[in-house]
Every structure is written in structure tokens, then in C-alpha cells.
Amino acid sequence: MPSRSATATAARTRTEVVPEEVGLTAKDFRGEVKPVWCPGCGDFGVLSATAKALAALQVMPHQVVIVSGIGCSSRLPYFMSTYGVHGVHGRALPIATGLKMARPDLKVFAMGGDGDLMSIGAGHLPHACARNIDITCVLMDNQVYGLTKGQGSPTSPMGHQSKSTPYGMIAKAANPILLALSYGASFVARGYSARPNELANLILEGVRHQGFSFIHVHSPCTEFFNTYDHYDSLVEALPEGWDRSNLPAAIDLALTDERVHLGVFYQEERPVYEVEARQFEKDSQAFDLLSYLQRFA
């Protein structure tokens, strides 16, 4: 591919000949590979919600790329019919960032677990939020390392006993919503995998949002930290008439731990990174080596 715009042109040409442009259902977004998750895993709910959201968008599967890290939840791209990258532990956001910058025509997701986004790759989150790049970031939080069979994670509650924390977790649990709000994410929401329809709506809103959207999903692990009963009893909708433009209120709400609120905590309109970065695009020129080199003559 000589340049990004050439790629985009190629993509458009091919798209026009696709017969079924409308009437996509969630099933059309599910791939051939059967999920490897344990029965009852919260990630099934996220998978189904993602497919539903994309069907509601009526976007073609080949115009979507789901980038993930490593862990149980990060297997998700294999179970979709979209493009995807199952990359390196913690690096879903950088890979998604490069892709979205290079190909703003695509719908780009970064999905991963609490290990990916809150631990090994946590250093990327502030920058993705601050740039406000148009990526939908879904944190599938089971508060435990499932794929490595049950060690404590940064979102495990204090005192949580696991194989790696036999005497209880000493560190305070990370608060993903609070972090995303303080990093300057322009769309911050929380969902629950056991409520896939609500979650599908949040993902749909997230994708429609212009800029970086962060969706924290409680997605319990039946095998190593079954929190279904806990969250079933704690989740509730945001307060009546919630003003999603009020950042201090969103932060206050994120700090309460008596209840687990579901919905869009915060949303603002802000310049979008890959749009701002393309301000000269309309005047862009082809590269000519010999004329470029004149500056060194």
C-alpha cells in the first residue's frame, strides 16, 4: 500500500460490491471459532453485547477491527467475524491507536481484561484518554487473573485471598471508572455482563461517541472469583436525571462503593486526535525524493 489514502480507496471500492449491506443481525458478527471460555463466564455476555451493538450500527464486519491483549477476555476477536488483532499482553491500546490513526475509516475497538488495561498496559490508558482518539475501549473486569488460574489482580478487592495472595490482597483495588475520569476520557460508562442488552446499548453509544470511550464491564469469572451474586445485589441504574456532563458528580459517584452504578457516567465533546492530526490532509502532496533532498544541497 503506497499510502493511507490509497488503502482507503481500495477498501471503498471493494465494499461497494458487497451484496448484503443492510439487515445484519448479531449472528453476522459471530465468527467460526467457538469460544473457549468456561460455562457461565461473563465474557459471553460481552461477546453477545458487542455483536448486538455492531448489528444495531449496521456497520459491515470488515469495517470493524477488534484489538485485544492477552488473557481469557482477549480471546474475543477470534470469536467475531470482524478483523482483529490478538496482540501482546497490555498493548491493545497502542496497537489500536496506530491502527485508528492510520485508518480513521475503520471502527476500532480495544478490548482486554483487568490485567491488560489496569496492570501491564495501565500506562497506556492515560495517554489514550488524553489524546481522545476515537477508539472504543472495553475493560472486561473479572478482578482476577483467570487464564493463569486465579492470581490476584489490580482490581481484586483488598483482603481478597487468591493463590498469589494467600494471606489476602494488601493493595487497594484500582477504580477503573475513577481513573478514566481523571485521565480525561471523554466517554466513561459501566456495564455488567449479566445484563447484555444494557451493555450492548452502552457499547453502541461508545462507538457512536466521537473520541475515546471507556466502558468498564464487570464480567465475573465463575472459576476463580465468582462475583455474580455480589454484583446482582449491588448493581443499579444511575440516579434519576443523571447529568452526564457533570465531571465532579461523576467522580463522586465513582468514589461510592455501597452501590455499583451502571450507565454513562460522563460524556463530553472534545477535539478528536486523529481528526486534529489530519488538519493538513487536504493539502497533502505526493513525496518527491529529489526535491526533498534539495534542502541538503
Q: Which residues bind other proteins (CB under 8 A)?
A: 1-5, 7-8, 10-12, 14-15, 17-18, 32-33, 60-63, 65, 67, 70, 75, 77-78, 81-88, 90-91, 93-103, 105-106, 123-124, 126-127, 274, 277-281, 283-287, 289-290, 292-293, 296-297
Nearer to other proteins, 112 or 191 (CB): 112
Cβ atoms of residues 46 and 140 within 8 Å: yes
The CA-CA-CA angle for residues 142, 130, 46, to 5°, reads 25
Instruction: Return the SS3 of 216.
Output: strand
Nearer to other proteins, 157 or 184 (CB): 184
Shortest distance, CB of residue 160 to other proteins, whole angstroms? 28
Shortest distance, CB of residue 103 to other proteins, whole angstroms? 4
Cβ atoms of residues 81 and 29 within 8 Å: yes
Angle between helical axes of 247-255 and 176-183 (0-180°, round to 10): 160
Nearer to other proteins, 256 or 279 (CB): 279
Nearer to other proteins, 141 or 274 (CB): 274
DSSP of 57-124: HT--GGGEEEEE-SSSGGGGGGGBSSEEEE--TT-HHHHHHHHHHH-TTSEEEEEEEHIIIIIITGGG
Shortest distance, CB of residue 58 to other proteins, whole angstroms? 15
Shortest distance, CB of residue 88 to other proteins, whole angstroms? 5
